[in-house]
Amino acid sequence: MGRQVLVTQILQQLSEAHRYGALVVGEPGLGKTALSRAIVDALADEVTVIHIGAQPSLKKVPYGAIAPYLTDLSVADAGSPIAIYRALTKHLGQLKPGTPAPLFVVDDAHDLDDSTSVLLTQLIATRKARALVLARPTPGPPSEFLALWHDHILHRYDLAPLNLEEIHELCVRELGDQILSSVITLLSKTSEGNPMFLLALLHSDAREKFLVERNGVWCLSGERPEIDLRLTDLIRGQLRGRTPAELEVLETVALAEPVALSILRTICDPEAIDDLARDQLVGFSGGFDKGVALTHPLYGEVIRAHVPIGRSIAIRRRLLTLSEYQTGSIEGFLRWVSWGLDCGTVIDDATLLRAAIVANRLYDHAFALRAAREVQAPELRSRALVEIAHARMTRGDFSYARELIDETLQNCVSLRIAKEATLLSIDLRMRSRSNSAEIQGDADRWADTIDRIEQQAGASDRSLRVSRLGCRLLTCFVMNLEGRYQESEKHLLELRDHPEGTDETRIAALALLGEVLGATGRALAGAAATADALAIIAGHGHRFLRHQEFVITRHGMSLVRAGSWKEVGTLLADYPQSTDGGMMHFGGMLEFFEGVVALRQGKMRTARKRLILAVEGFRESDIAQLMTLSTGMAAYACAMAGDSAGAQQYASEFAALPAYGPLQARLLGQIHVAGAEARFKGAAGSIAELRRIAHYASTSGMTALAASALELAVRLGDTASLAPLGEITSGFEGVDGAVVHSMALAMRAKDAAALESAAIQARDADYLLIAAECFGTAANVLAHEGQGQRARALQSPLNELIEKLEGLQRPQFSDSQSATKLTERERDIVTLAARGYSNRDIAEQQGVSVRTVEGHLYRIFAKLGISRREDLRDVDPT
């Protein structure tokens, strides 16, 4: 898996006269043995293969690795290199004459004894044998084989971990192709591309602890992968033979990673640290004081699980005595607090509260609960309750989280706690599918709390004014949910530039403004606003991490509306791995955007697959409230891909969903359901529904939504929607608006040249469905105008596009094909006429009258756009 190119390269090396083998170097578990099996299988009928398996126990035994081939050697000659050489060459000499030199496959060559290494390299150097040598980079292949590599007799290949695409391929082989991207990302991070580790994680005993199959789709269960016995044995076997000093370093680093190198050298043997670094078991990060960590995360999991509790506490106490340890990474800070709690160290309440806040931001909710529950100071207890509610909410305990939030806000006297509790309440309402009125109720309660705090304080300060900015932003959020974009935009522009605004208020204002701009046809400006919000988040580390998914959702939608496919791809590649825990909370977000892009491009089978995955992901986590939209789009993609049963299923699911989330998302889902239902209920009702939604959206200022409804109506054959579609999209920003606008104008004018130009514009922008529709319509127009030759010229680019549409067929495509395609009788007549046969000769050949032949020729000339019989010689009748 993922090594096919390498197998081909090595086989090519083994076939070259001046090369006598290959040296493959790779870490344990990367697949060296599997690679050698593939090569041996390919050479099975061509060469004799001799396997040599080196073992650590035989490394100091001269010729121990080749003992099975020296059975005829006398006791007296057992210590003679010359006798052993002759015995082995004699064994090789018993091979069939004329056969190629035998191939030695040396596994674990790093454990090969010196005597065997010298003997094998002599055989290779004298061209009496070839070799496929497999070794780990540390301690590395024997020097004799390295010398052959430097002399260009052996070619070296360094085996790399599997990349993300290859990991996905392996997961598909083991689980099937219905896998959420979050699963692939988690497995990639955990295994780091090591096939052996990855297969161990995918084993049925291991995967049931962190994966769940729902409706045929593999999703994360919310737990982290656990190390099972099979994987533990693999890793512990690779760590055998390390000295006690090295094991102490490994245990300390595993418990504390990343730990500052200066601290590690204080409590551990510096020489052991250097040896482990040289063997690539530990690595260093940059910075003034390098951080030390294990090179593979699974090594740390196994070591931590097997450090005795007494020894673990002793190591942690030694580290806790070094006060500078807690000033390292944020992960190191959390570990320091956790150790302090384990070891009975007194930790002040402010530190515990900070640890709970950070843990929640990093999605470590178990530790957030533990730290927050330890907070005892009355002045900090309310803030700790907010963090407990946060952790409870993420674990799915919505009712208890709601009780804690309401209790906190009831007599709140802190502006900061009021803000945090209100934002958490909004988050909880989004997860529990509450409506906009309930969210506005939270905003009103926040405003009342601010007023009460102001009266109790007896003065007004900047904190009060910033809090009121937050209330206004929350009201704008509600306006956006209700589709009141024109009203919201005025407030958001003021809030974005407010002189007393903070980075956090600017993030919210920019994200909401980006949503407004994208929904009203200004997708490029919307994407610029949300990009600015993401830049602020990136500049503050973990501080605003909780806002990231809120902004990413709106940024992605603006990019899609702009037709910026490359930027969408970059977004999907960058953000899933931005935090370890965040992947789980993306739910089906990645699949959703991939499906939306495929749908927009016209790749319906791909869109169907990705959107079905998105629906399953959103069943687990739908923070952005995209379930209604993805369900409606899944119904449409199923219908367009020919899956009527799937279309009906998702249309029924959409109808059963409660009315929650952004109005625009609900209406866009409804638009796609109407398009889907046209396949099994007829187009008339769907067109009427689409026109109704378009009118409502247009009068409400939701112009992007109106354009979507009109475009689907046009696709169903409603030419009356072309005029309003062209008018609405005339001012749209981005490629998407330009493509749809050109299509609408050209189709309305029935101008073949304009349609062909619009088709080329759409094709170049990867709007394949619109391009095919324009080409097909242009061909029909030309055929009806009697310009058959020009119509036939469009058939080739149309056919290329139809192929890319994954088999999708539309009426205008088949109409254009039938309008220019010759019948079987017409093709026969063209062939005979091109050869010079007269009309009477053709009539006799075909068994028809001369008048019938003349009628056929008239229709042929119209289809082909010619007027002379001589032009038939240049026609391909097929």
User: Can you say whether residue 815 is alpha, beta or left, with left for phi > 0 and alpha for psi between -120 and 50 degrees?
Assistant: alpha
- Tell me what the mean pLDDT of segment 514-524 comes to: 96
Q: Answer with the residue of higher pLDDT: 229 or 467.
A: 467
Question: CA nearest 522: which of 701, 732, 708?
Answer: 732
In Å, how far are 129, 152, 154, 246, 494 from 22, measured between CA atoms? Answer: 12, 10, 5, 33, 68
User: Can you say whether residue 358 is alpha, beta or left, with left for phi > 0 and alpha for psi between -120 and 50 degrees?
Assistant: alpha
Do 11 and 148 sit in the same domain of this protein?
yes
Inter-residue contact 26 to 137 (CB < 8 Å): yes
Average pLDDT across the chain, whole number: 86
According to DSSP, the residues that pair with 50 across neighbouring strands are 104
pLDDT band at 96 (very low <50, low <70, confident <90, very high): low
Quick check: 682 pLDDT over 90?
no
User: Quick one: CA torsion of 311, 312, 317, 323, rounded to 10 degrees?
Assistant: 140
The answer to whether residue 557 sits within a structural domain is: no
Q: What is the pLDDT of residues 48-95, one digit of tens each?
A: 888 888 887 788 888 878 877 777 777 766 667 777 777 777 766 655
Do 24 and 131 sit in the same domain of this protein?
yes
3-state secondary structure of 306: helix
Give long-range contacts, CB 8 A cutoff, 24+ apart: 452-455: 453/412, 453/413, 453/414, 453/415, 453/418
Q: What is the pLDDT of residues 621-641, one digit of tens each?
A: 788 889 999 999 999 999 999
Quick check: 701 pLDDT over 60?
yes
Do 77 and 176 sit in the same domain of this protein?
no
pLDDT band at 878 (very low <50, low <70, confident <90, very high): low
Domain hosting 647: range is 587-681
Q: What is the pLDDT of residues 545-601, one digit of tens each?
A: 778 888 999 999 999 999 999 999 888 877 655 555 554 455 688 899 999 999 999
Q: What percent of the chain has pLDDT over 70?
A: 90
Amino acid 669: pLDDT:
96
Q: Answer with the residue of higher pLDDT: 339 or 848.
A: 848
Domain boundary among 115, 137, 158: 158
Q: Answer with the residue of higher pLDDT: 754 or 297.
A: 754
Inter-residue contact 427 to 393 (CB < 8 Å): yes
Q: Which of 230-234, 687-691, 780-784 has the lowest mean pLDDT?
A: 230-234
Inter-residue contact 795 to 768 (CB < 8 Å): no
Do 32 and 93 sit in the same domain of this protein?
yes
The answer to whether residue 549 sits within a structural domain is: no
The answer to whether residue 8 sits within a structural domain is: yes
Do 95 and 168 sit in the same domain of this protein?
no
The rounded distance, in Å, linking the Cα atoms of 678 and 839 is 48
The rounded distance, in Å, linking the Cα atoms of 250 and 253 is 5
Do 139 and 9 sit in the same domain of this protein?
yes
Q: Give the CATH number of the domain where residue 614 resides.
A: 1.25.40
The answer to whether residue 384 sits within a structural domain is: no
The answer to whether residue 866 sits within a structural domain is: yes
Domain boundary among 177, 192, 226: 226
The answer to whether residue 206 sits within a structural domain is: yes
Domain boundary among 132, 158, 184: 158
Task: Among 149-153, 589-593, 739-743, name the most confident range.
Answer: 739-743
Do 219 and 152 sit in the same domain of this protein?
no
| Count of domains for the chain | 4
Inter-residue contact 716 to 683 (CB < 8 Å): yes
Q: Give the CATH number of the domain where residue 81 resides.
A: 3.40.50.300
Do 136 and 171 sit in the same domain of this protein?
no
Do 27 and 63 sit in the same domain of this protein?
yes
Question: CA nearest 18: which of 155, 122, 123?
Answer: 155
The answer to whether residue 689 sits within a structural domain is: no
3-state secondary structure of 103: strand
Inter-residue contact 409 to 422 (CB < 8 Å): yes
The rounded distance, in Å, linking the Cα atoms of 670 and 676 is 10
Do 10 and 133 sit in the same domain of this protein?
yes
The answer to whether residue 577 sits within a structural domain is: no
- Tell me what the mean pLDDT of segment 233-261 comes to: 82
pLDDT band at 100 (very low <50, low <70, confident <90, very high): confident
Do 9 and 98 sit in the same domain of this protein?
yes
Q: Give the CATH number of the domain where residue 848 resides.
A: 1.10.10.10
Do 134 and 108 sit in the same domain of this protein?
yes
Q: What percent of the chain has pLDDT over 90?
A: 40
Question: Percent helix, strand, coil in the chain (nearest 5)?
Answer: 70, 5, 25
Task: Among 180-189, 279-288, 748-757, name the most confident range.
Answer: 748-757
